[in-house]
Structure 1
């Protein structure tokens, strides 16, 4: 582990903003800001059930995951053309570049769009073009992860996979998202096995609102490489020990957890518990347009609420790089940049 010297408290926010980091849990449809939703609605002639940007934003008072998903799917209805998907992703990448994100692995939900008659090619080509441009113009390494909607059937997931396979070179993995409770990971055992045969990376949402048993199933039945969220693992000491021993990454999203009432207040979040237990926890924004902040805002608010340290900052950034699906040579370069950033801050202060 890199030896981290503490920086003065007043400089920690600056360090959090400056350090290179990866974002591994970002739903690209969840980055649709109200202003862009209305702009795309006008462009595509889509009627919205909200009178204004302000009225839409005022509706972002969620009580649980489902209350969020209802608005999330309504917002996605404005995405119809390849350029819409490009514009949405590009807006995210510009914010990510400002937050010193060097690697982004974007979740996308094709079933949300194909169910509305939007062709798979439109979805994937628009997002992929933005990923390519992010690399050449912003210096962000980016890839796509196709997520199956768990409230739908495994047969629907299989059909979605088949539709996506002509574009196999444009996404690196599959995930599992949407309503968690009542839809355990094992519901998708066969389709995940097929994706493993295809050489795709495997991740799944588990243990956000669902029980620790869902995390066990995601690991043992789906054979996932990362757990998205995973905060309920703290309720199961045996699971915590396993996650720490196996270095299974958790993609934790604190502002999302607070907004969806998983934790009543950010100061009640268990991220410090996960880190101090030796888990490979990472920090991410989830659906930043809806949950009150992109990646750096998650860092700033979480560190202030939990009184996390300079060591925690390095660990979270390093974990995010380690847990990414980027090539090893890129991980080495970013880790070197991370260490140099911390050394620069220490030299400035001593």
Structure 2
């Protein structure tokens, strides 16, 4: 039985929509918009984008986004197509529930505060609010058409704290349409980041408003970022979080409080966030200590992965089938779906994998 056949019902909690665009969609959009783009074929673009050789560090991964985001940002049809195709890809890989995250400002071509959009070629009428509306429309249609459940997480951007309040307001407005949480991305959370109080204030208000919180922390930055996320931002989940093992007291606290870690195995290697020796990967400690974590892809367009390939990777590292199934149940219990929907997801998992995993 293949790896894919062993896991016919998957859940993913940490994947970036802008990191999961199809390469063919980028090439097609560049041609349609008459954008000068040196990579004319899917193969050429893929060769350029996929991180296949050192140096491996987070900055190198983030730099790849500058290649393709200017092609799709500020284009209504492209944004809708990306989100709709994401739903189709979920179905293709048996991912029946997922929370896709993105920054509304990075897809926009008209900023609400009058500043220049980061990636758009020219200013238009697609504000961050309109970006969320377009993506919600596409996720609703794609979820219905392909029989999956795709939710949104809206990301603040680490180097743009002035956007955080708007992200919070969009989370509030679009909560009824499947926006389930707020995040901070585009870099690792660092306690010394300038103006971090603008980020932390948005997350504190999110907690007051009943909006779920997840935070990128402890990926390539210090374990102190995880502590900041928990203490000042009221994080319920941690994106990556590998460096938490460097702080024994914090690690034990996370175990005790059942904090969920969104682990991205291949990404952790390609960003240089874990030791070169995979026998020393924090994943082994997470398994041995029964830490609450899930397996995720992060940015498939740059990493050339899918959830099945990441499952295959961790199984080569020594995890067995039961370990992987347990992480799928961890994901279900830690997802940000409304309570009744979460019960339904867990019931579906029990049908597929069995009742015993509810106790793991």
1:157 match:
164
1:53 aligns with 2:60: no
1:303 aligns with 2:303: no
Alpha-carbon distance, 1:165 to partner: 5.8
1:179 match:
187
Alpha-carbon distance, 1:331 to partner: 2.7
Taking the TM superposition and a 5 Å limit, the aligned residue runs for 1:1-350 are 11=1, 13-18=3-8, 20-50=9-39, 52-59=41-48, 60-61=50-51, 63-79=56-72, 80-114=74-108, 115=117, 116=120, 117=123, 118-152=126-160, 154-162=161-169, 167=174, 169-170=176-177, 171-180=179-188, 182=190, 186-187=196-197, 188-263=199-274, 264=276, 266=278, 268-304=280-316, 306-343=317-354
- The answer on whether the counterparts of 2:262 and 2:296 sit within 8 Å (CA) in structure 1 is yes
Sort the Cα spacing of 1:314 and 1:166 in 2 relative to 1 into closer, same or farther, 3 A. Answer: closer
1:4 match:
none
Q: Which whole-Å CA distance do the structure 2 matches of 1:100 and 1:335 have between them?
A: 15
- Give CA-to-partner distance per residue, 1:70-123, whole Å, 9 cap, x none: 221331112232321221122222221122222111101122133234422431
Sort the Cα spacing of 1:216 and 1:39 in 2 relative to 1 into closer, same or farther, 3 A. Answer: same
Alpha-carbon distance, 1:250 to partner: 0.6
Superposition TM-score, scaled by structure 1 size: 0.86
Relative contact order, higher structure (CA 8 A, sep 6+): 1
Q: Which whole-Å CA distance do the structure 2 matches of 1:139 and 1:265 have between them?
A: 40
Q: Report which stretch shifted further, 121-130 or 239-248.
A: 121-130
Q: How large is the Cα RMSD of the aligned pairs?
A: 2.4
- The answer on whether the counterparts of 2:16 and 2:298 sit within 8 Å (CA) in structure 1 is yes
Aligned length: 331
2:112 match:
none
Sort the Cα spacing of 1:48 and 1:122 in 2 relative to 1 into closer, same or farther, 3 A. Answer: farther
Alpha-carbon distance, 1:21 to partner: 2.5
- Deviating above 4 A after TM superposition, structure 1's stretches of 4 or more consecutive aligned residues are 159-168, 181-187, 265-268
